[in-house]
Amino acid sequence: MTTGTKKTVHTIAEEESPEFSFLGVVSAEPDYRLSVLINRHLGADLRKCDEEIAVHTDSGRACFSRFTTVPPELSLVSNRSEGQILLRKLNKIDFFLIICGESGREKADQLAATLREIPEITAVFVLESSKITDRNLPLLTL
C-alpha cells in the first residue's frame, strides 16, 4: 500500500511573443532553389543558416531548414521536413518568409505582391501571428 504523496504542480508563464506579419509561400521548388529565386528577384542575400529549427515529435526529431540574410532582414523557413510539418494549422503552405525586425502589414503586402511575380511561386499569403494558434509559431522568430 502506498502512502499518499502530495504532488505540486508548477506552471511556468510563457512570455507572449510580439505580434508579427509573415508570408506563407506555396511552391514546388526545393528550399535552396526558392532562396536563389527570391535573391534574384528581390536583390536579397538569403543564405543557408547553420541553425535549423528543430522540433521534437512523437516519431523523433524533425529539422526544418532556414535561410537568412546577414544582417537579419528576411528569413525563409521550410514548413516540411521528412513528412513532418512545422505549423500543422498551415499544412498547405510550403515555406514561410519572415520579415525580421519591426514590420507592418503594409510592408508584408508589398513584399507579397513582389513575390507573386516569380513564376515558380504558386501563391503567397500574408499571415498574422495573432490569428494563428500553433505551439511552434514562436520558433519562426528565433
Confidence of residue 112 (pLDDT cuts 50, 70, 90): very high
Tell me what the mean pLDDT of segment 66-70 comes to: 91
Percent of the chain with pLDDT over 70: 85
Residue pair 105/126 in contact (Cβ under 8 Å)? The answer is yes
Checking if the pLDDT of 90 tops 80, the result is yes
What pLDDT does residue 10 have? Answer: 44
Q: Residue 92 — left, alpha, or beta (φ > 0 → left; ψ -120 to 50 → alpha)?
A: alpha
Confidence of residue 15 (pLDDT cuts 50, 70, 90): low
10 Å CB burial of residue 86 (0-12, 13-18, 19+) is: buried
Residue pair 25/14 in contact (Cβ under 8 Å)? The answer is no
Considering only residues 104 and 78, tell me which one the structure prediction assigns the higher pLDDT. 78
List pLDDT tens digits, range 27-61: 999 999 999 999 999 999 999 988 888 888 777 78
What pLDDT does residue 25 have? Answer: 96
E-assigned strand segments in the chain: 21-27, 47-48, 53-57, 60-64, 66-68, 74-78, 80-81, 84-85, 95-99, 121-128
Confidence of residue 11 (pLDDT cuts 50, 70, 90): very low
CA distances from 110 to 10, 113, 115 (A): 45, 5, 9
